[in-house]
Structure 1
Amino acid sequence: MLPEKYRCAVVISRAPVIQRGLVAIMEESLHEYEVICCSTQQETSFSLLQRASIVIVDLTNDLHKARNACREYATMMVHLTETHWVFMVPLQIYPMAVELLLRSESTLLSSMEPIDGIINAIRSGSRRAGKVSEALLSPHVYETESENAPPVSLTYSERQVLRLISKGWGINQIAAMLKKSNKTVSAQKNSAMRRLSLRSNAELFAWINSSQGASILNLNKTYGDDGKWKTAEQENTLPLLNNVP
């Protein structure tokens, strides 16, 4: 058995904010893991998954083909029974996930799971397998808490920076696109976190992924002009998982 510091965690998600959020959580609370991020299951390999002690799968962006995705993961689990599978499940496909993915080696978490729930599921390992999180069993409790959260007022620049962070951009990329210094962008990010009473990058990514964060940052719309966004994206080709100061 490998020492703890050699544990491998594979994160599969199409959403940069989910990838970066899970990496931040692991770095801050579960630093014994080496984290490898993939956008789709096609980017993984059997040897990589076989090496992983935990695979965290975000199903949020697979709603249009949810049943096929669940079946494919169910087939993979048959061949990787020693791996702990953690599925982040949106409420829309919860019954399907229970039917196809809930097994002795898997845990179902809400796609809006609190940070503590994610950490506890990973730390518990196989002891938490075969479980469904309270955030899925009692979603109205978490929806009420989100609705009752006090309103937050961010400046235009702070919202602009957080929106770009949600797209998977690092501080260097954001500074280049907005023609600002790294120091200025970092200061705007930190200022936004103070207004939001967020203490870590993990909490920041959890907030961005929440209904309140998505609403305040208007994440359902593309930032700026489409042409400007595509041009900037082509010009900034730094790796997705740059550290966020």
Structure 2
Amino acid sequence: MLPGRCKQGIIVSTLPVMHNGLEAIIAQHFPDIELHHFQRSAELPSVVVQRASLIIIELPFEAEEAQTECEAYYRLIAQQPDIHWIFMVPKSVFSLAVEHLMRPETTLLATTETVEGVVNAVRLGCARAERISQLLLSPYNVHMQEPVRFASTLTISERQVLRLLGKGWGINQIAQLLKKSNKTISAQKNSAMKRLSLKGNAEMYAWINSLQGVKELNLLSLQKEKAEWNTSHQM
């Protein structure tokens, strides 16, 4: 890499909320990493992969689709061993991920991983990072009881604002859509973050991106709304 050039990173996910959340975390903690966004392994251009030092991938929830993706990434990892591959793994496909993706170059994190967990994995790199997140090795419901309690206190307006943020909308766009002022939308976002005990946009997007956030905000339908995603995030 030439002196002064940004490091190259890639995020792969079918959910815009995953891209937004991880992008916010990387921008805050690793501003020297320039990110590229894709939805599936088949979209990854070899020239972009070859320049990358970090690739973060969200695996699908469905076992059949996850099997296909895991097999594709198994081949890619063998071809590009110098990259740190971080996989965001749903509990439903954890065994598949371990079977296909456990290599010296990889780290397996939970889709419910904390911001600190993601930051530590990126910072430590494949040589020193924990290979499998404790969130994947522990009973899932133990880690999700607290967010469920917090999420149930959100108002309808707060939930609506967070859902639109999760879909990739900005404050100005949301204000125009809901015919409210930017100040009102920002206040509703901040109120929701306070109820959820979230500090900063990175933690907000991490919660939105968690399985509980996706369910609470009805973001599972995003897989059927890809046409609404701002294509400027893609190559």
How does the TM-score come out when normalised to structure 1?
0.83
Q: 1:77 to 1:169 in 2, by over 3 A?
A: same
SS in 2 for 1:60: coil
Could you list the structure 1 runs, at least 4 aligned residues long, displaced by more than 3 angstroms after superposition.
Answer: 1-5, 60-64, 148-152, 218-222, 236-241
Verify the 8 A CA contact 1:67 1:96 in the aligned structure 2. yes
State the match for 2:206 in structure 1.
206
Verify the 8 A CA contact 2:73 2:101 in the aligned structure 1. yes
Verify the 8 A CA contact 2:62 2:93 in the aligned structure 1. no
- Report the residue type matching 1:32 in the other structure: D
> More displaced, 8-17 or 149-158?
149-158
Greater relative CO (CA pairs within 8 A, separation 6+): 2
Shift in Å, 1:238 = 5.1
Q: 1:16 to 1:237 in 2, by over 3 A?
A: closer
Aligned mates of 1:99, 1:201 — CA distance in 2: 34
Shift in Å, 1:76 = 0.9
Mapped pair 1:88 → 2:80:
no
State the match for 2:114 in structure 1.
114
Verify the 8 A CA contact 1:26 1:33 in the aligned structure 2. yes
State the match for 1:153 in structure 2.
153
What do the CA deviations read for 1:72-117 (whole angstroms, capped 9, x no partner)? Answer: 1111111111111111111111111111111111111111111111
State the match for 1:143 in structure 2.
141
Verify the 8 A CA contact 2:22 2:206 in the aligned structure 1. no
Aligned mates of 2:116, 2:215 — CA distance in 1: 23
Identity %: 43
Can you give the 5+ residue segments of structure 1 that lack an aligned partner in the other structure?
none
- Report the residue type matching 2:208 in the other structure: I
State the match for 1:75 in structure 2.
75
Aligned residues: 230
Question: What's the C-alpha RMSD, in Å, of the aligned pairs?
Answer: 2.6
- Report the residue type matching 1:35 in the other structure: L
State the match for 2:52 in structure 1.
52
Verify the 8 A CA contact 1:105 1:129 in the aligned structure 2. no
Q: 1:111 to 1:60 in 2, by over 3 A?
A: farther
State the match for 1:185 in structure 2.
185
Verify the 8 A CA contact 1:18 1:209 in the aligned structure 2. yes
Aligned mates of 1:62, 1:78 — CA distance in 2: 24
